[in-house]
Structure 1
Amino acid sequence: MPNPDRADLPTAAPTPVCPARPGRRRHRAAVLALLAALPAPLVALGPAGPAEAQRRIVGGVAAGTSDHPWVVALSSRPQFGNGRSGQFCGAALVTPTKVVTAAHCFYDESKGRRVDRPELKAVIGRDDLRGSAGYEVPVQSVWIHPDYAFAANMNDVAVLTLAEPQTGRPVIDLVGQGETEPYVPGTRAQVFGWGDTTGTGNYSPTLRGVDVPIIADQTCAHAYPGGQDGRFDARGMVCAGEEKGGRDACQGDSGGPLVVGGRLAGLVSWGTGCAEAAHPGVYTRIGAVSDAVHSVL
């Protein structure tokens, strides 16, 4: 997570230089410029930033859209290349025409301002981003929470409207406004996403998932009191992760779903490092933004 925690080319051709994928925002190191062009075999895994700022679902296992059909990858092939279907963030299908993700997926990390993602699509039903299974559905519009604060990471949620309804495909329900039970410390949650598997630009081409416990607000506030590491605010955030580290979401997983009891409870948002002890992942608390999201569903 930066500060905040994300066409196969001919083998003889160099890769184009693409912008870094917006990963889970981090507060310890900024995302720097990409490395110079690499040969095509490396490009198939997608462009990446520096090792410390680009990692993945840490400590997880393989997952599939057959079991989790509402897990979505967001794609911009012109911006992020064809090797991994142009994936740059994760998301969740919540109605046949609406996808929920993190607002910061549509912001320039270095400048803190809104940016376009050309040829934006939701990739649905594709476990392996190198393949062609499932559908690449054009996105018709992007709604960002009107009170989203990029610098403070508050209200980090966006709703995408699909141009083609996914009738008959299972969707995931949202935790309701003001609910507290899904956020009881120790509650088991699952987080899903695609991302760098080693921290060296080796993004996972396949969907991954990891189990993490919900962490008490007081503990998270102690981990993120403000300053360089960022400030946790329980009014719009929730933390999850192992006390000793080792399991977490990270770069390339932004906007991906945090699921509790079969419902969408959070979205991968930010944190310091990845899977570090004393620095759990911070997620958008869906129970705090559910009414605003429902208003545009």
Structure 2
Amino acid sequence: MIFELSLLAERPTRIVGGTNAKTGLHPWQVSVHWGDPDRGLEQRHVCGGSLLTAGWVLTAGHCKTLAPQHPRPLGRFLVLAGKYKLGTTEDTEQSSRVTRTFIYPGYSGTVAPYDIALMKLEKPFELNPFVATVSLPYPETIPRGDAMLTGWGSIGRGKNFDGPMILQEAVLPILDYDICKRALDKALRHEGRNPLHPTNICTGPLDGTKSACKGDSGGPLVTENAFGQAEVIGVVSWGLFPCGGRNAPSVYTRVSAYVTWIHKIMLNH
């Protein structure tokens, strides 16, 4: 199989190997849209994200770089919370424009480390059972065990996209860093580089039955902490395309490496 390095953002359908999520079970999940109907530019889902506070969203740095690639880059970011099914207006949904996007310094805009960003909302959301926040991990903690991935990423194992627009979920095993690195070193031996960094984490399974995919970018990888709270440990960053191949881990930005930066940005802006 020929592998292609891919930032996991494009047309949304669903997670490879995922199942339909239950309504309201992941209330921190948001959909980041790009466009501007006033200029005839349809707003569409480009990334996922996590609601950290009523007015701040955590997402991937490369989500910001998607906007200029549009043939008419005159749009704006809009965040939709309380979403379950894309492409339809739901009673539970709220929307807010993004006023500023803060990308972690040093991120190159490609398949690379430091792929994390914060979006400040024009109008904070009203929190309720369908729109709620997720907790941050303790700084520099290394997550282990299983984690929950949610998003509207592609189900396709090829380059075709198929499936409903309903939010998907999948429980995935967190891989040991060295195991992930070895798998990617082998898969990318013809690429000449492996962008994996110690500030990344990876999920399997390495049999390829479940995987993040295009459209999941920026979305949350979540575990339950010692207090019974949902805790965002990863932000979907990149992977090997087509999705769902054997020995092809999904790669996330490890949130615990950026907690100090996150607090600093939210406090000062």
Q: Which category describes the TM-score, using the shorter chain as reference length?
A: 0.7 to 0.9
Q: Deviations over 1:84-105 (max 9, x none)?
A: x611110000011000000011
Decide which of 216, 220, 223 is 2:183's aligned counterpart: 223
Question: Could you say which residue in structure 2 is the equivalent of 1:15?
Answer: none
1:266 equivalent to 2:234? Answer yes
In structure 2, relative to structure 1, the CA distance for the partners of 1:229 and 1:61 (3 Å cut) is farther
Work out the CA distance in 1 between the residues paired with 2:221 and 2:22. 15
Moved more, 247-256 or 101-110: 101-110
Structure 1 residues 2, 294: closer, same or farther in 2, change over 3 A?
farther
CA contact (8 A) 2:62 2:110 kept: no
Q: How many residues align?
A: 244
Aligned match of 2:227: none
Matched, 1:130 2:130: no
Partner secondary structure for residue 247 of structure 1: coil
**Which residue of the partner structure matches residue 5 of structure 2?**
3
CA deviation map 1:137-168 (0-9, x unaligned) = 11111000012133451111010001111243
Q: Check 1:73–1:161 CA distance in 2 against 1; reply closer, same or farther (3 A cut).
A: same
Q: Which residue of 1 aligns with 2:258?
A: 289
Determine whether 1:176 maps to 2:134. no
- Decide whether the 8 Å contact of 2:13 with 2:163 is kept in 1: yes
Shift of 1:64: 4.1
Say whether residues 1:141 and 2:100 are aligned partners: yes
> CA shift at 1:285, angstroms?
0.6
- TM-align CA RMSD: 2.7
What is the letter of the counterpart of residue 246 of structure 1?
T
Deviation at 1:67, TM superposition (A): 1.1
In the alignment, the residues of structure 1 paired with residue 74 and residue 194 of structure 2 have an alpha-carbon distance, to the nearest angstrom, of 28
Q: Which amino acid aligns with 1:94?
A: L
Q: Per-residue deviation at 1:293?
A: 1.4
Structure 1 runs of 4+ with >6 Å offset: none
> What is the match of residue 64 of structure 2?
106
Q: Do the aligned partners of 2:94 and 2:125 also contact (CA within 8 Å) in 1?
A: no
Correspondence 1:90 to 2:48: yes
Aligned partner of 1:164 in structure 2 is 123
Q: Does the alignment pair 1:121 with 2:78?
A: yes
Distance in 1 (alpha carbons) for counterparts of 2:51 and 2:211: 22
Query: Which stretch has the larger CA shift, 102-111 or 275-284?
Result: 102-111
Question: What TM-score comes out, normalization by structure 1 length?
Answer: 0.74
Q: Which residue of 2 aligns with 1:190?
A: 148
What is the percent sequence identity of the aligned residues?
27
Q: Check whether the contact 1:235–1:288 (CA below 8 A) recurs between aligned residues.
A: no
* Partner Cα separation in structure 2 for residue 123 and residue 284 of structure 1: 22
SS at 1:291 equivalent = helix
Q: Structure 2 stretches of 5 or more lacking a match? A: 225-229
